[in-house]
Amino acid sequence: MNKYHKSAWQRNGKTEYYALTQFQPTDAQAAVPCWDEPQLKATWSITMISRVETVN
């Protein structure tokens, strides 16, 4: 599994969507601009919002 994936589930009769990913060693390059070059370092941040009962 690489990149981002969108999936759905039924909760209280309503369809809800969520995003997931599992990055293997070089798969992050498919989702965000990055290179395997130690000399080219950058920092970036991501904000994820989730309901408390769905965090594991």
Average pLDDT per block of 10 residues along the chain, 56 residues long: 76 87 74 77 76 70
Instruction: Give the per-residue pLDDT at 10.
Output: 92
Within the chain, strands assigned E span: 5-11, 14-20
Structure token pair of residue 46: 């991501």
Distance of CA 20 to the CA centre of its chain: 5
**8: helix, coil or strand?**
strand
Cα 40 from Cα 52, distance rounded (Å): 36
The set of residues, in sequence order, having a beta carbon less than 8 Å from that of 9 and lying 6+ positions away, is: 15, 16, 18
